[in-house]
């Protein structure tokens, strides 16, 4: 009899299976979108290394994630929000930016200091957003204080970052690292890079920061996924605490955004959820992780999406809003004492779940 | 792992005899779990740890989890026999796609301590461990059909002498049905979690603690004043209630009466009733595991009793194996509360009127029809029903179907129905119409079968008929039992020329040279063979039930490791011929056939007679 085979993923078998299943799941959805409209745009507030800023968040429709077309990540349904097949032209992308600026002008009194651009893929991947479009967008927002653009680590390059920092705009690249644990990223999330690639990207950002001198800062914002499928509550907590600590230790990574998994349609997580095989994490777990990692040398924030609903991170239904509020409060102040002020009877259940949930009896609660 | 037997050159002719399957390769020896008592799919077993644990049981205190390979690399732990070690695993929760299960499946290492493999009910393999934890328990608990599909798939795949573990789902309300379905190991996790959520669990409900003005229990945890009773106390109570229910389950299995309990307990939640009924539809799974006889009574108190294996098997054997050998008319009579029927007052009165001039067949719910020769056969003298005189449509339909099949197979010169109005008359009428028969009714409308008038009419209906002899009666009885126990035609194949001695119901069967062949066992209406009888059985055309053993001479009992092969048709309680290079014997099966072959522990059969070769 063979030994247990921990490195299934490295044999390619696990990735092939995940991709095939995810392709099948995604193919159930048929929809296409207008390439001249952004997927979403909204105004918010964000904690940055320079304090709390008003932000304009843009989800740019760039034709979607290449990885998702191969199958992609087990929890991600965003691909379905992209245009049919091919890429989006320069003109169409600039039309989308115009729509966003118009939205901002309509909604806010003054322009946001912080611009965040996500693409459901990689903004720095030139097959997705060409160099011409990237530079034009950088120029469009040259008067802002700070920009965040999303990318996989492979595409992070000091020269591309310079397109933004040259205008004196502080620039962060948001990387969906999901977890610092390669095994979890591979086997549970089905994301194909390693922590080492993330470290390399951080080094590129650090180099860009150095090159920009005092005119602008450049850095990396790591996005982590709390409780991917197949992990128990306690495994997920442990994975996040160690991931935050490891990210904070990497030079160039100044912020960690740790986000609880929610159940999106047309994903593997949704299939598990539908068959009672997955529960999003407890908000208590999010609070606990933030508390435990409050001392690390990085800003650690969390923005639980869909909190309090069955498909989002939730507690018992009574205390969800209070705990969510404490988390948002922590995001802005980084003060763990905010969690001392919330309590609920369901903490006992949460502690029991942490103690007793096993991967062969999960999920223990709904 | 290749489960196909390796065929060595020159050995294949050994397997030609279709009665014998090629033996399974012994890839695994389960050393730490042994089944002691069987009651359908449920078992009382023993986890043979440093301190043994009797199952079905909670295993929280003895479980050591080596952890999930999803979260990180894990060492195979050193382990020891004080605990049950869950080997490093990748669990697949409900909804995990087949491709993912296939790609990430783990082959568990061989270890020499008590171990548990984690398997999905959808992709289970024999892993050579002592127990199997089912990873998709949360998805299959709460749905009758899903539970049954899962447990049948798991239990039919893993060796019979391994334990099945459902973690995180047992409650006082569901654990009897889960054990009945074939789960051996549980934990207190669900009971504790629900307690922390303020759910107060009893065998009948999951009450909201806040709704209870008084605590409907008197366990240690519930001795507190109501206002001091916390959610921690609630968790403690839930654990106590679960332990207590498991105690009842173990007792019921030992008594062979779990089904009777489950027919009641399953009513406490719809999905549990659904699970019990879905399991009844899994005939192959349940039948193989159900003994052919028991000391215990069957309580026929619900509609579901009709679908019990014991009831269905009796009806099936009476209408496909048994054959009437009397030439006399048939008299259909109602059953009696006293068993066997012939000892009841009413049947004595019928007998006084019939005087061996007719073949008597009793009609009864839920058994169907019981020919007089089989009145002692399990479960004909082992059931008790709720007597109201009112028949449900299901009962009528069932008994009518059995009677109809019975009459299609057996011809009589004349049929007399000595039955009262309620139910019986209706059933006979349906079959009379369906088969276009002419039946004489001897109980006047509104009358009772034991009324003088009824009895006189019964006697009149048989006037002119000749009595059959005691010899004919006894010969036909042992032949009928042989038919019932061994198969269609077995009575004639086995006992063409016999003599019978001793008094009914302890009839002894002898050959013409006065050598004893078999004895009728009055408690169960079966036959126990002598060595001579066993040899005659083997030589006859009657289907044999054989256990092939290694080169030793068994005394008392044959243990499973000594069994080389066994007929798959063997059921617990069956008469079996035991044969090996050094011995020939006869005895009674304590395991079903496949279990004897797969098993590495426990008593396979008890030997009654044996001789050295």
B11-51 pLDDT, tens per residue?
333 333 333 333 444 444 568 999 999 999 999 999 999 99
**Tokens read off for B135:** 């990873």
Q: How many CB atoms lie within 10 A of CB B612?
A: 8
A90 within 8 A of A36, measured Cβ to Cβ = no
**Chain A residues closer than 8 Å to B95 by CB:** 271-278
Interface confidence (ipTM) of the complex:
0.91
Burial B482-519 (b: 16+ CB within 10 A, else e): bbbbbbbbbbbbbbeebbbeeeebebbbbeeeeebbbb
Closest-CA distance, A325 to chain B, in angstroms, reads 23
Cβ proximity of B548 and B566 under 8 Å: yes
* Residues of chain A above pLDDT 70, percent: 94
Q: Is residue A192 part of a domain?
A: yes
Distance CA B202, CA B175 (A): 11
CA distance A345 to chain B (A): 8
Q: What is the mean pLDDT of chain B?
A: 93
How far does the CA of residue A120 sit from the closest CA of chain B (Å)? 25
Contact (CB<8Å) A230/B91: yes
Please tell me which residue of chain A has the smallest CA distance to B186: A361
Q: With contacts defined as CB-CB under 8 Å, which chain B residues touch A357?
A: 168
Position A5 in a domain: no
Nearest CA to A68 out of A59, A80, A57, A60 is that of A80
User: Is B188 a residue whose pLDDT tops 50?
Assistant: yes
- In this complex, do B104 and A3 lie within 8 Å of one another by their Cβ atoms? no
Phi, psi of B503 (to 5 degrees): -90, 140
Q: Is B309 helix (H, G, I), strand (E, B) or coil?
A: helix
Instruction: Give the CB-side neighbour count of residue A356, counting CA atoms within 13 A.
Output: 24
Indicate which CATH number applies to the domain containing A275: 3.20.20.70
Tell me the pTM.
0.92
CA distance to partner chain A, nearest, from residue B164 (Å)? 13
| Contact across the interface for A356 and B193, Cβ inside 8 Å | yes
Residues of A within 8 A of B167 (CB-CB) are 358, 360-361
Q: Kindly tell me if the per-residue pLDDT of A7 is higher than 60.
A: no
Contacts of B120 in chain A (CB under 8 A): none
Q: Tell which of B26, B138, B141, B154 to mutate to test the A interface (max A CBs under 10 Å).
A: B138
In the predicted model, is pLDDT for residue A69 greater than 70? yes
Distance from CA of B367 to the nearest CA of A (A): 41
Mean pLDDT value of segment A139-147: 96
Contact B197 A365 (CB under 8 A): yes
CA distance, residue A86 to nearest chain B CA (Å)? 29
Query: How does DSSP classify residue B68?
Result: B
Rounded CA separation A290/A280 (Å) = 17
Quick one: average pLDDT of B466-495? 96
Answer whether A276 sits within 8 Å of B138, measured CB to CB.
yes
| Residue in B99, B142, B231 closest to A17 by CB | B99
Q: Is the distance from CB of A350 to CB of A363 less than 8 angstroms?
A: no
CB–CB contact B189 A364 (8 Å): yes
Collapsing DSSP states into helix, strand and coil, what is residue B477? helix
Residue A53 lies in a domain: yes
Contacts of B29 in chain A (CB under 8 A): none
Half-sphere exposure of B609 (CA within 13 A, CB side): 14
- Across the interface, of B74, B95, B192, the residue whose CB is closest to A277 is B95
**Between chains, do B72 and A181 touch, taking CB under 8 Å as contact?**
yes
Backbone phi, then psi, for B142, in 5-degree steps? Answer: 105, -10
**pLDDT per position as a tens digit, A286-334:** 999 999 999 999 999 999 999 999 999 999 999 999 999 999 999 999 9
CB contact under 8 A, A362 and B93: yes
- Number of domains chain A contains: 1
Q: What is the 3-state secondary structure (H, E, C) of chain A?
A: CCCCCCCCHHHCHHHHHHHHHHHHHHCCCCCCCCCCCCCEEEEEEEEECCEEEEEEEEECCCCCCHHHHHCCCCCCCHHHHCCCCCCCCHHHHHHHHHHHHHHHHHHCCCCCCEEEEECCCCCCCCCCCCHHHHHHHHHHCCCCCEEEEECCHHHCCHHHHHHHHCCCCEEEEEEEEECCCHHHHHHHHCCCCCHHHHHHHHHHHHHHHHHHCCCCCEEEEEEEEECCCCCCHHHHHHHHHHHHHHHHCCCCEEEEEEEECCCCCCCHHHHHHHCCCCCCCCHHHHHHHHHHCCCCCCEEECCCCCCCCCCCCCCCCCCHHHHHHHHHHHHHHCCHHHHHHCCCCHHHHHHHHHHHCCCCCCCCCC
The one-character DSSP state at B77 is: P
The mean-pLDDT minimum among A256-265, B26-35, B121-130, B310-319 falls in: B26-35
- Nearest chain A residue to B74 by CA distance is A6
Q: Which pLDDT value is given to residue B178?
A: 98
Are B58 and A222 within 8 A, CB to CB? Answer: no
Size of interface A-B (CB pairs under 8 A): 172
In sequence order, what are the residues at sequence separation of 6 or more whose Cβ sits closer than 8 angstroms to the Cβ of residue B411?
none
Q: In which region does residue B446 sit, left (phi positive, over 0), alpha (psi from -120 to 50) or beta (all else)?
A: left
**Residue of B164, B185, B193, B236 for testing the chain A interface, max A β-carbons within 10 Å:** B193
Cα–Cα distance for residue pair B403/A155, rounded to 1 Å: 81
- Nearest CA to B329 out of B474, B467, B431 is that of B467
Q: Provide, as residue numbers in chain B, all residues whose Cβ is less than 8 Å from the Cβ of A353.
A: 193
pLDDT digits (tens, 9 = 90+) for B350-359: 999 999 999 9
User: B168 and A17: CB-CB below 8 Å?
Assistant: no
The verdict on a CB contact (< 8 Å) between B106 and A5 is: yes
Query: Is A360's CB within 8 Å of B135's CB?
Result: yes
Mutate to test the interface with A, among B74, B93, B235 (most CBs of A within 10 A): B93
Q: Do A352 and B72 touch (CB under 8 A)?
A: no
Residue-level pLDDT at A4: 38
Q: Is residue A4 part of a domain?
A: no
β-bridge partners, B494 = none
What is the mean pLDDT of the segment spanning B330-344? 95
Predicted confidence band of residue B2 (pLDDT cuts 50, 70, 90): very low
Nearest residue to A235 via CA among B133, B134, B73, B70? B70
Q: Look at residue B386 in the predicted model and tell me its pLDDT.
A: 86
Nearest to B331 by CA among B185, B444, B458: B458
Verify whether the Cβ–Cβ distance B110 to A1 is below 8 Å. Answer: yes
| Ramachandran angles phi, psi of B548, nearest 5° | -95, 125
Q: Does residue A143 lie in a domain region? A: yes
- Which of B94, B169, B210 should one mutate to test binding to chain A, selecting the residue with the greatest count of A CBs within 10 A? B94
Does A9 have pLDDT greater than 70? no
Is the pLDDT reported for residue A178 higher than 80? yes
Residues from chain B contacting residue A6 (CB–CB below 8 Å): 69, 73-74
Q: Is residue A362 part of a domain?
A: no
Residues 6+ apart with CB under 8 A from B393: none
pLDDT in tens, B393-426: 999 999 999 999 999 999 999 999 999 998 999 9
The whole-angstrom separation of Cα A70 and Cα A76 is 13
Contact between chains at A277 and B86 (C-beta distance less than 8 A): no
Is A111 exposed, middle or buried (CB count within 10 Å of its CB: 0-12, 13-18, 19+)? middle
Q: Is A337 part of any domain?
A: yes
Write the residue in B94, B128, B190 that is nearest to A277 by C-beta: B94
User: CA B465 from chain center: how many Å?
Assistant: 42
Question: pLDDT tens-digit profile of B574-606?
Answer: 999 999 999 999 999 999 999 999 988 899 999
| pLDDT band per the 50, 70, 90 thresholds, residue B192 | very high
Task: Please give the residue range of the domain that contains residue A65.
Answer: 15-356
Cα R_g (chain B), whole angstroms: 27
Contact predicate B550/B270, CB 8 Å: no
The owner of tokens 């008469």 is B575
Q: Please indicate, yes or no, if residue A157 is contained in any of the structural domains.
A: yes
Q: For A91-105, what is the mean pLDDT?
A: 95
Q: Which residue in the set A184, A231, A364 is minimally distant from B168, CB to CB?
A: A364
Element (H, E) at B84: strand B84-86
Q: Which residues of B are less than 8 Å from A356 in CB distance?
A: 168, 189, 192-193
Interface test with A, best of B28, B69, B89 (most A CBs within 10 A): B69
Q: How far is B72 from chain A (nearest CA, A)?
A: 7
The whole-angstrom distance between B610's CA and the closest CA on chain A is 41
Q: Quote the CA–CA distance of A313 and A320 in Å, as a whole number.
A: 9
Of the residues B90, B169, B191, B194, the best mutation for testing chain A's interface (the one with the most A CB atoms within 10 Å of its CB) is B90
Lowest mean pLDDT, pick from B8-17, B149-158, B367-376, B487-496: B8-17
Higher-pLDDT residue of A233 and A45 is A233
* Residue A31, pLDDT score: 65
Whether the per-residue pLDDT at B5 is higher than 50: the answer is: no
Q: Could you tell me which of B85, B113, B154 has the C-alpha nearest to residue B29?
A: B113
N residues, chain A: 366
- Check residue A82 and give its pLDDT: 54
Higher per-residue pLDDT: B276 or A70: B276
Q: Which of A3-7, B30-34, B79-83 has the lowest mean pLDDT?
A: A3-7
Task: Dump pLDDT digits (tens) for A272-299.
Answer: 999 999 999 999 999 999 999 999 999 9
Task: Give the best residue of A234, A361, A365 to mutate against chain B (max B CB count within 10 A).
Answer: A361
Q: Do B167 and A348 touch (CB under 8 A)?
A: no
Q: Which of B95, B107, B142 sits opposite A271 (nearest CB)?
A: B95
The residue ranges of DSSP E strands in B284-357, in sequence order, are 298-300, 330-334
**pLDDT level of residue A32 (50, 70, 90 thresholds):** low
Question: Are B106 and A4 an interchain contact pair (Cβ–Cβ within 8 Å)?
Answer: yes
**B417 forms bridges with which residues in the sheet?**
B332, B441
Would you call B71 and A349 a contact, using CB atoms and an 8 Å cutoff? no
d(C-alpha B1, C-alpha A281), whole Å: 37
Task: Say which residue, A197 or B4, is predicted with more confidence.
Answer: A197
* A59, two tokens: 């989800």
Of all residues in chain B, the one with the smallest CA distance to A278 is B93
CA-based nearest residue to A283, from A365, A204, A163, A208: A365
Say how far apart CA B332 and CA B313 lie, in whole Å. 21
Residue of A nearest to B194 (CA): A349
């Amino acid at each position: 009899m063979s030994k247990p085979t921990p490195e299934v993923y490295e044999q390619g078998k696990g990735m092939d299976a995940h991709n095939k299943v995810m392709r099948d799941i995604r193919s159930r959805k048929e929809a296409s979108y207008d390439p001249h409209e952004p997927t979403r745009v909204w105004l918010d507030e964000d904690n940055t290394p320079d304090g709390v800023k008003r932000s304009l968040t843009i989800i740019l429709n760039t034709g979607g994630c290449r990885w998702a077309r191969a199958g992609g990540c087990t929890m991600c349904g965003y691909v379905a929000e992209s245009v049919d097949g091919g890429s989006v032209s320069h003109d169409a992308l600039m039309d989308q930016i115009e729509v966003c600026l118009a939205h901002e002008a309509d909604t806010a009194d003054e322009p946001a200091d912080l611009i965040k651009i996500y693409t459901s893929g990689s903004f720095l991947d030139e097959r997705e957003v060409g160099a011409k479009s990237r530079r034009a967008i950088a120029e469009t927002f040259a008067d802002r204080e700070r920009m965040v653009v999303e990318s996989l680590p492979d595409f992070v390059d000091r020269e591309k970052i310079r397109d933004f920092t040259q205008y004196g705009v502080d620039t962060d690249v948001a990387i969906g690292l999901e977890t610092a644990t390669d095994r979890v990223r591979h086997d549970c999330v089905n994301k194909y890079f390693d922590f080492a690639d993330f470290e390399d990207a951080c080094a590129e950002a650090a180099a860009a920061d150095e090159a920009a001198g005092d005119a602008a800062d450049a850095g990396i914002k790591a996005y982590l996924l709390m409780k991917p499928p197949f992990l128990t509550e306690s495994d997920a907590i442990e994975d996040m605490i160690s991931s935050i600590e490891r990210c904070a230790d990497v030079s160039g990574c100044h912020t960690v955004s740790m986000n609880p998994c929610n159940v999106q349609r047309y994903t593997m997580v949704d299939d598990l959820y539908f068959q009672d095989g997955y529960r999003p994490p407890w908000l208590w777990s999010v609070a606990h992780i933030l508390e435990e990692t409050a001392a690390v040398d990085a800003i650690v924030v969390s923005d639980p999406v869909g909190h309090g609903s069955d498909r989002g991170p939730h507690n018992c239904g009574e205390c969800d809003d209070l705990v969510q509020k404490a988390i948002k409060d922590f995001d802005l102040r980084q003060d763990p004492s905010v969690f001392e002020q919330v309590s609920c009877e369901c903490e006992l259940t949460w502690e029991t779940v942490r103690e007793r949930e096993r991967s062969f009896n999960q999920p223990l609660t709904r | 792992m290749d489960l196909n037997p390796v065929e060595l050159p020159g050995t294949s002719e050994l397997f030609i005899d279709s009665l014998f399957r090629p033996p399974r390769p012994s890839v695994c020896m389960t050393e730490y779990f042994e089944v002691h008592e069987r009651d359908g799919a449920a078992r009382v077993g023993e986890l043979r740890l440093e301190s043994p644990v009797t199952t079905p049981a909670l295993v929280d205190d003895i479980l050591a989890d080596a952890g999930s390979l999803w979260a990180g690399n894990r060492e195979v732990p050193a382990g020891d026999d004080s605990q049950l070690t869950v080997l490093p695993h990748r669990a697949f929760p409900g909804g995990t796609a087949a491709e993912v299960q296939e790609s990430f499946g783990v082959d568990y290492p061989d270890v020499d301590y008590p171990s548990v493999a984690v398997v999905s009910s959808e992709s289970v393999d024999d892993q050579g461990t002592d127990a199997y934890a089912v990873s998709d328990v949360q998805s299959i608990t709460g749905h009758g059909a899903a539970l049954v599909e899962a447990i049948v798939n798991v239990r039919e795949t893993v060796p019979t002498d391994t334990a099945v573990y459902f973690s995180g789902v047992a409650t006082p309300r569901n654990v009897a049905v889960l054990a009945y379905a074939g789960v051996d190991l549980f934990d207190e996790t669900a009971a504790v979690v629900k307690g922390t959520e303020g759910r107060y669990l009893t065998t009948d409900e999951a009450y909201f603690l806040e709704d209870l003005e008084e605590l409907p229990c008197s366990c240690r945890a519930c001795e507190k004043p109501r206002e001091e009773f916390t959610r921690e106390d609630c968790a403690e109570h839930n654990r106590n209630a679960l332990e207590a229910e498991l105690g009842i389950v173990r007792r019921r299995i030992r008594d062979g009466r779990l089904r009777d309990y489950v027919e009641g307990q399953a009513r406490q939640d719809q999905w549990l009733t659904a699970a019990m009924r879905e399991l009844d539809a899994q005939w192959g799974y349940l039948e193989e595991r159900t003994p052919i006889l028991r000391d215990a009574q069957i309580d026929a108190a619900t509609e579901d009793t009709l679908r019990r294996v014991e009831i269905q098997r009796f009806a099936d054997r009476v209408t496909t194996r048994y054959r009437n050998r009397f030439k006399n008319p048939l008299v259909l009579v109602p059953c009696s509360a006293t068993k066997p029927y012939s000892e009841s007052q009413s049947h004595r009165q019928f007998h006084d009127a019939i005087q061996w001039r007719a073949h008597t067949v009793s009609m009864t719910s839920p058994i169907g029809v019981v020919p007089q020769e089989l009145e002692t056969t399990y479960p004909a003298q082992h059931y008790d029903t709720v007597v109201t005189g009112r028949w449900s449509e299901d009962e009528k339909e069932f008994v009518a179907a059995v009677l109809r099949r019975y009459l299609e197979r057996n011809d009589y010169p004349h049929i007399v129905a000595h039955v009262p109005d309620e139910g019986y008359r209706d059933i006979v009428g349906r079959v009379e119409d369906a088969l276009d028969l002419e039946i004489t009714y001897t109980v006047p409308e509104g009358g009772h079968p034991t009324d003088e008038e009824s009895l006189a009419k019964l006697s009149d209906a048989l006037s002119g008929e000749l009595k059959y002899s005691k010899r004919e009666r006894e010969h036909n009885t042992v032949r009928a039992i042989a038919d019932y126990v061994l198969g269609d035609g077995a009575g004639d194949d086995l006992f063409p020329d016999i003599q019978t001695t001793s008094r009914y119901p302890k009839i002894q069967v002898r050959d013409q040279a006065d050598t004893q062949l078999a004895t009728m066992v009055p408690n169960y209406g079966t036959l126990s063979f002598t060595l001579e009888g066993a040899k005659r059985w083997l030589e006859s055309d009657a289907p044999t039930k054989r256990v092939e053993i290694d080169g030793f001479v068994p005394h008392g009992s044959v243990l499973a490791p000594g069994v080389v092969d066994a007929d798959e048709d063997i059921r617990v309680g069956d008469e079996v011929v035991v044969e090996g290079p050094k011995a020939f014997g006869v005895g009674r099966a304590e395991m079903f056939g496949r279990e004897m072959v797969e098993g590495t522990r426990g008593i396979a059969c008890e030997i009654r007679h044996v001789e050295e070769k």
